[in-house]
Structure 1
Amino acid sequence: MKKITKIAETASAKVKLKKIRVAAYCRVSTDSDAQLESLEAQKTHYENYITSRDDWEFAGLYYDEGITGTKKDKRPELLRLIEDCKSGKVDFVITKSISRFSRNTTDCLELVRKLLALRIPIYFEKENINTGSMESELFLAILSSMAESESVSISANSKWSIQKRFENGTYKVSYPPYGYDWDGEQMVINAEQAAVVKEIFAALLSGKGTHAIADDLNQRGIPTKRNGHWTATTIRGMLSNEKYVGDCFFQKTYSDSRFVRHNNHGEQTQYLVKDHHEAIISREDFEAAQTFIHQRATEKGVVKGSDKYQNRYTFSGKIICGECGNTFKRRIHHCTGYKYAAWCCNTHIKDKDKCHMLFIKDDDLKQAFITMMNKLVYAHRIILKPYVDALKNTSSDDSLRRIQEIQTLLAHNTEKRETLTKLMTQGIIDPILFNKETNELLSQADSFRDEINALKNAVSGDVTKIDEAAALLRFTGKGGMLQEFDDDLFQEYVNRIIVRSRSEVCFELKCGLTLRERM
């Protein structure tokens, strides 16, 4: 008879399973009381659901209130969840449904793939989808697309409803501008703020600039609508706001099919409602202010919507960050007792971790340009003269010869195709062979034409460089040293500025030279 002995497990043999760190994501698209109650219910549900399981550890609850689901970049809590997943703080994510997670198919799939690359699955409760066990993304893509279509439908219905209220004049301005409050039914004047509005218009009409008006309000400690600081941009926006004369101009902006908002320049119907509410500024003063602003802009040569308006400063659009490749933006920096203009990398402004390039003073850039130009004036015979001669000697002779060769080959190609057509018409070759040979010749002809265009562009570029270099040589040969920055001179000879650091920049000249200058 077989003898069986049972060996009991020991304490050391027990393996303690590591708990899965589970986080939940919730979102409501409006901040109404009903939606916020829904958000509270979701938060309670997930907290209880996760903590009720022994193999799960509650890793946090991430929720966005009153935020659209069509753009992931507009949801700070979702972005924080992704960052925590990257940091290894989360192993598993739960959310109510695909539409709560994202109503944009592209964003949804991108986020899922990003988390799966980190070995972090997402569980969608309503659809019962666990991305960690999916064999294909097709099902998720279909459902996500349906969620996006639903969002588009809701948006269209909402737009239609708003447009009808625009048409019959019943649309309610729920967030009125500075100077007004909302009493639940209409816009009413806020006496304290209205006095500031009148003061702003009066200051402008007395000759004061928008920067000076903003500085004065800040020095007196008067807060903006959102308790922030006044800027010239804020003042300009108020001075052009028709609501201060009692009118309402609806649909100044609109959203496209990708939910991106644009200024409305006539692409969509607009609606003007006269005497919509009580006015703060008389129509005479408002019109006088618009005339004054337009006159100042005309004197400066700045017309709204023009290229000069978009690039109103000499360096606008021409300063490139050597670290991230983005452009620089002009800003005013304030120090104790004085202020100065500086240029900052747009990427660095938005996220200092993505670009570490520090700002550069406007005056330092101008001085660097003066120094660079004076060096060229002093040493033009050593630097520019040999450069112009080299460009002329190595210009377009070879390229022109090659263009002539290709044009001859292209003519032979055309003759061959004509011969093939005659042979097929006479029945000497069959259509299959004709099509095969003709397609090969057409493909060859396209290649010849592409090469000719490329060579012509190269020749044109060489001629342009020679002309630009010769013009710069003529200017520097006159021998006049620059004493101050000249806007027109910069625009004429410089293509752009590459910022390597706060102490070093490179001027890319239109003649093809790149000159480094320390500051």
Structure 2
Amino acid sequence: MRAIVYAAKSTEDKRGSIPTQFEDGRALAAREGWEVAGQYADEAASAWSGDRGAQLASAMEHAERIAPCVLVVQHSDRLARGDGRSARHLGELYFWAIKAGVQLRSVQDDSTFTNPLLTFAMGERNAEDSRRKSLAVQAGMQRRGEAGKHHGGPRPYGYGYRGGLLVIDEAEAAIVRRIFAEFVAGGSLSAIARGLHREGVPTLRGRLWRQSTVSGILANPVYVGLIRHNAETFPARHEPLIDDETWRRAAEVLAARPSKGRGRPPKGNHLFRGGLLRCECGEAMVPRTNGGYEMYYCNGRGKLGREFCDMPHIRRVDIDSAVYLYFEQVSLDVEATRQAIAEARDHKLAEVRALRDAAEAEVQRAEERLGRVRRDYTDGKLDADDWRSFKAELEPQRVAARAQAERLAAQHGEVERWGEVRDAEAETLRRLSEIRALIAGEVRDAAGLDAVRVALSRTFERFVIRRQLRRVHVELIANGQLVIEPEVRETAIDGYSENLRPILRREPLGQAADAAKEQPPIFGPIDVMHGA
């Protein structure tokens, strides 16, 4: 009789459990006179939250090929610990073995597989034991997280353990900082992974750098000094590797990345990829290079035909050049915008100050008139009826003058605050300035395209190609045909004050109040043929 020996460990096998399991299995085979035909082992593969790993599947497939045979384990819980819902129950393997002509044997609980009742009873015991351990581990991890300690397990890249706490590994920390810096500067996940692999930088486990490895680092809050457990984050006791601003910018770029599509990647120098450019029908404009011609095709037309959408194929150079030219004109730097707001504020302040001073003077005159009448009444120059008559006339004038003066004083304070660019506004202006700077530097290669693409995605949800436009303030249509309408992200304009919106629309500040009722998009449309 031939035998297959299987071993497993739910976590990383730091203490040599798997070799011990192999020894026990081979010893049982020797006592029974079985020939060991193969050995398989899964490491860091749970039988409670999953069906072990690929090696168990391989062991079962091998056993089926050479049946009748024996599948040997150290204990039945090496095969399964599940409850039959989230993971395989031991009873399922019992009936698989009967059908496949395979005997299940265990070094430590061999009687388990002598009848189905014992197998199911042991399966329930294994599942309950794992459930209890899982709850205990979760509670412990929660306590560690709340205490600012890492949950244990494999160390995160860039850190090591010392006394149960995370300490910085300087060599790896330099790589982590490099990954964040390249990503927020516009580098793609694949480009970052290729660069690290090309330079021979080792991963945590000595494997290849992949996009998923890079994105895992970028999404791990441990690098900004936080511990995550069950979707909650807690302040940690270890030293962060990156600052809050870098973490925030990386998180925004990750969130802005389009979902992974299926088609082939474009070969050309297309600015728009991954659904950032959309057709008016709602489908993506996909980049294609055919016969040396770089184009954008409507995906809806390609999938459903002209009856669904008759948007023509559009040359890449027409779309991309229009966007480049537009942002050279519309993107304003923060200081220039602060200056424009300050100048408008100064003009308005002079007007309000003059009105306020006049109102204060009127208040003073009204109080003086009322004071003279009061003195005349006190000196006996006026009788009571005249005093009441004059007071009834002068008191409302004084109250109205005081109210007007207070209103203008409040308006004066409000206008003074025009000079303040709020945090949300300054951030968007900084991003627009970044877009303009990237474009002004000339986009010559894939890295430059990536940088512009990332900068655009931080501020804009999408760019929509339209043939008919909704009403807008800044009409940039020259040929009456195709235009691109930028759709800004809500997070990019959340918290804006009205004094900044007209500047982004390139309107005079004084027209903001007149245009307030229409509320057009902040960014005007882009004429495909002329760009502005």
* TM-score bin, normalised by smaller chain: 0.3 to 0.5
Q: TM-score, normalised by structure 2?
A: 0.46
Instruction: Report the structure number with the largest CA radius of gyration.
Output: 2
TM-score under structure 1 normalisation? 0.47
